[in-house]
Structure 1
């Protein structure tokens, strides 16, 4: 698997961050909380709900470190997107046949001290069967990565991003998007995959409940 050169990874990241900052500044009102909960050094697994195509650029803009990603292999179909995403620190994964290669690479990067962003729902989900809806399906691969990497885990909740492009709301007014990072946590000693899966799910649901209970500005 291609290893991104650090200087190119940083260049792509900060260019994308600037573009996102300009776009979000014009079309949206972004409220960020808990950004200091992301450890400044060492491997960190960020697990986030996924409600829109805006989520990756929003997280990339907001996080105070250069993140790596797991993303669906369909994004790598053209020569340009394959070149761009591999050099932007994105690991392709086939959701129909995940295999062990992408998971091992994700674990390797976490152990090497990088930040990895993971959407454990496995794709964009809204409604009752989502994290914000209260009954999400969390993929088993997320628990395996967390167990094998042994790094701090930071839950993240995004709210409002999907509504921003429903009914062309963004064109007429600056929609509110809220991004919240929860406190980092570690899996307990001798935790198995089922325990890791349950704990990660509970942490996401607890943070989602906290965010939804917060008054909208």
Structure 2
């Protein structure tokens, strides 16, 4: 090998090493400045890539609440990644009710635990989970609910909603923010199958619903 070729290779290695060091430094600085934990930051970045690039998600409307204002976010349930679509329009951590088996599953659990999801039973009658949601909302956090209770894999526009959404908002004395998701990918055979499906999704945020006129009447059936 001639000295010139040897020097060129050494120079190329040095340039690549400098580029790698610069990328690492930029990544460390990005993580340092992020208001979230390292796992949250990495997962949110991955979510943004998947929803924006793979599923070409469009966000309509805006989430106009102060950062210290708690709220209950409700949405239709069209695919397992629905919270990720909503996260595109909400620059805050949300606490979603998630079936207990997903929280314990070795594949899905590591993606859910960094966001302090609220494990719940599929029966829809989980007092402990409901109380946890109320505490989060009262303390200025965002909590998320799918009133349908399960993924809507039918031809119906919406499944019948379960009771409790308004009660959580009334007890916590926070507004409800409605969202609607359309065009999301869904594979009945596998959650991971959704990642292989192209889509053109859209999430629309409605205006916050102020329930202050009904505070103290959460046990009133007419409300």
Fold conserved between structures, TM > 0.5:
yes
Q: Provide Cα deviations, 1:158-190, integer angstroms capped at 9, x if missing partner.
A: 000046x58x89868x53111011000122325
1:186 alignment partner, one of 210, 215, 220 = 210
Q: Counterparts in 2 of 1:48-127, with a 5 A limit?
A: 48-78=75-105, 81-82=108-109, 85-96=112-123, 98-127=125-154
- Give distance in 2, aligned partners of 1:42 and 1:10: 21
The number of equivalent residue pairs is 184
Q: Which residue of 2 aligns with 1:13?
A: 40
The answer to whether the aligner puts 1:34 opposite 2:61 as a matched pair is yes
Two-structure CA RMSD over aligned residues (Å): 3.1
Offset from partner CA, 1:95-138 (integer Å, 9 cap, x none) = 22633111001100100110111111111114354xxx1x5311
Q: Which runs of 5+ in 2 are unaligned?
A: 1-33
Partner deviation per Cα, 1:7-29 (whole Å, 9 max, x = no partner): 99643332211001112233222
Q: Which has the larger radius of gyration?
A: 2
Residue aligning to 1:200: none
Q: Within 1, Cα distance between the matches of 2:110 and 2:49?
A: 24
Moved over 6 A (4+): none
State the alpha-carbon separation in 1 of the partners of residues 208 and 172 from structure 2: 15
**Cα deviation digits, residues 26-47 of structure 1 (max 9, x gap):** 3222110112434433111111
Distance 1:13 1:189, change over 3 A: same
Mapped partners of 1:51, 1:30: distance in 2: 14
Q: Which of residues 189, 192, 201 in structure 2 aligns to 1:177? A: 201
CA distance in 2, matches of 1:74, 1:169: 19
With 140-149 and 33-42 compared, the bigger mean Cα shift is at 33-42
* Matches of 1:15 and 1:143, distance apart in 2: 33
Asked whether the equivalents of residues 46 and 117 of structure 1 are also in contact (C-alpha less than 8 Å), the reply is yes
Looking at structure 1, the residues matched to 109 and 185 of structure 2 have their Cα atoms a distance apart, in angstroms, of 26
Over 3 Å counting, the alpha-carbon distance change for 1:142 and 1:21 in structure 2 is same
Report if aligned partners of 1:107, 1:148 keep a CA contact under 8 Å in 2: yes
TM-score between the two structures when normalised by the length of structure 2? 0.70
**Aligned counterpart, 2:164:** 141
Q: Do the aligned residues in 1 keep the contact of 2:95 with 2:117 (CA within 8 Å)?
A: yes
- Are 2:207 and 1:158 aligned? no
What TM-score, normalized to structure 1?
0.72
Distance in 1, Cα, partners of 2:124 & 2:82: 24
C-alpha contact (below 8 Å) 2:93/2:115 kept by paired residues? no
Note closer, same or farther for the CA distance 1:176–1:81 as it changes in structure 2 (3 Å cut).
closer
